[in-house]
Structure 1
């Protein structure tokens, strides 16, 4: 067995950030490093690879694998791109300035993973009575894709954990509710014609604009409905339209136009309401007018990404434990999405708690405060006490 590798949380953050795991790239180099690190402590890890073998989840158990009531520390290894962003230093080299660590993934969310890994020796030191499970996923940033097969494996092969802690940046506050997210790609196909003969063509751009207007109306309706819980900011389900592409020249009626859109729904909203209403509007009010001119006209909407919301499980043993570990009096709600809802769908109590501020995620010069790292270390030290049977 190799000599145990020991890295401080700071050193582990620097190491993990140095791996460019942007979602369109492989994360296998990082996975191999973590496998070797765990092996040096006598811990075997299991890979769950994607179809072409270019990416992998990693799952490992510290302590008695067959014991119920374990704690899962979950985090995604992928990061968003840095292209086109104005960084003041190399995004994949951690730089410290003014009490902050700068680098891609320092906030979202390699610092949580790093602190958890740095505490492996502490978790193992006294022979944990309760297992700590490490669950590292791929492709969270492009739709929470990788974690799904790993969750399937967890529920098939191991006793039900007491709680999953998803370490997304929450400023080390405990989060028990967040919105769902669904994103879509809509393509409108009409008929080209000379721009002087608008009666002979089907203008895909104008019909796409009409559909975007319908989405704007639903966005306003959702704003008026508001948030009965009073916990979310903004306090309503949001609808957003992103990139739009269509047309070739001003004097040609556009044949195609496509746009990307999403909605982030409150946990109590039927997650299919908005897409069902959108599709009904297309079928009943838009397509018939297009096909009056050109029977081959069509509108296709395809899903890009879906992740369920997280609903509160107030008073659960898992949430109570994490509140105690984080020394928080109450849980909060956030509007960003995470993998937590997928664990919850598998009937595993789940909360979000991790170092860093979501406001820094995905930005140039992303950073995490050193004070947040210190707070996460205190959290992990209490967890080590808990799984070893010591009072916390």
Structure 2
């Protein structure tokens, strides 16, 4: 099919960049910037504070509002301790599938979008098309949040965002938010034979987890009547409780890693306010009665808003027309779509490959999925005259 060979060639290059979130993505971003620049795109590369990560935002067409954004994240999850049958950073084609880390999540979409750039450059009219490729989506959507600040400051106002996460080319109009935290407890170490003379950080962390479990149940009653999510309420998950050094030592340090996935912004406020009051009124007074310096501090790892289904959604209407779908769905996993929506864009998630393959050994995207994506992207060219 037209553009498939170009997409495969680009994807082979992209897979060869080992852009695990802990490492730099600069080589991949510079490669994409050069490629888009050759077709006349105006390319901006924005590095993070470390200088080792960067976002790319490129535009083909006029400098006006209302453009269409094609968005993807450049980072991938680690391959450590995964049992791959091939080199994860060398694309392998076999039985109608392309194997490699990031093939579906989500370098396949990025390759397809960039392969279409020459076509868009010839076709663009009154409506620009933008390419937004970010860093650190897998570790809290840090790149997309930084890019949003840049676009807001520059007054760049696209109208539509298509986030190409792997959805098997289904149109996704809604997903929950993802708020991740680490709560740190500082107590007072001592000998286990004298528990009243210490402040047991693990025990206070356990009481905090009990409160999380209580909130987890209370959130069920707050589920919106028309919620389309599964489950329909905001969820809380306790991922880890770490602390202690020995059986007979009162632990002075502990940490809880936890998350919540709000279906509505008010639920996050409800949970955070309750935990603040519980710590301020119950846990901390008891801890500081023994050691005034005892403390509980919650570190925000990431707070990423969900994608809220909207009655008026140009992105959804556009994708339904381009793909022939007769509706849109919601999913439980998070994406950067809510960040683009917060900038005033209509947003959907739609891309090649299945989320069932993401993050696993022998990750792949099928050629059939890439072809469906390219058909959609080619039809999208007709919207650039609008």
User: Which residue number corresponds to residue 184 of structure 1?
Assistant: 181
Q: How far apart are the structure 1 equivalents of 2:83 and 2:339?
A: 34
User: Which residue number corresponds to residue 16 of structure 1?
Assistant: 14
User: Which residue number corresponds to residue 54 of structure 1?
Assistant: 52
Question: Alignment partner for residue 372 of structure 1, among 369, 373, 376?
Answer: 369
Q: How far apart are the structure 2 equivalents of 1:45 and 1:121?
A: 15
- Whether 1:122 aligns to 2:119 is yes
User: Which residue number corresponds to residue 288 of structure 2?
Assistant: 291
Deviates most, 190-199 or 226-235: 226-235
SS in 1 for 2:378: helix
1:117/1:293 Cα in 2 relative to 1: closer, same or farther (>3 Å)?
same
Q: How far apart are the structure 2 equivalents of 1:276 and 1:357?
A: 37
1:352/1:287 Cα in 2 relative to 1: closer, same or farther (>3 Å)?
same
**How large is the Cα RMSD of the aligned pairs?**
2.1
1:28-177 equivalences in 2 (<5 Å)? 28-64=26-62, 66-157=63-154, 160-177=157-174
Cα deviation for residue 174 of structure 1 reads 1.4
1:214/1:297 Cα in 2 relative to 1: closer, same or farther (>3 Å)?
same
Structure with bigger helix share is: 2
SS in 1 for 2:78: coil
Q: How far apart are the structure 2 equivalents of 1:296 and 1:139?
A: 35
1:301/1:159 Cα in 2 relative to 1: closer, same or farther (>3 Å)?
closer
1:256/1:268 Cα in 2 relative to 1: closer, same or farther (>3 Å)?
closer
Q: How far apart are the structure 2 equivalents of 1:7 and 1:51?
A: 37
Q: Segments of 4+ in structure 1 off by > 6 A? A: none
SS in 1 for 2:196: coil
Q: TM-score, normalised by structure 1?
A: 0.92
Question: Alignment partner for residue 231 of structure 2, among 229, 234, 239?
Answer: 234
User: Which residue number corresponds to residue 221 of structure 1?
Assistant: 218
Q: How far apart are the structure 1 equivalents of 2:310 and 2:240?
A: 37
Structure 2 unmatched runs, 5+: none
Structure 1 unmatched runs, 5+: none
Question: Alignment partner for residue 252 of structure 2, among 255, 258, 264?
Answer: 255
SS in 1 for 2:319: helix
Cα deviation for residue 360 of structure 1 reads 2.1
User: Which residue number corresponds to residue 306 of structure 1?
Assistant: 303
Cα deviation for residue 10 of structure 1 reads 1.5
1:314-333 equivalences in 2 (<5 Å)? 314-333=311-330
Q: TM-score, normalised by structure 2?
A: 0.93
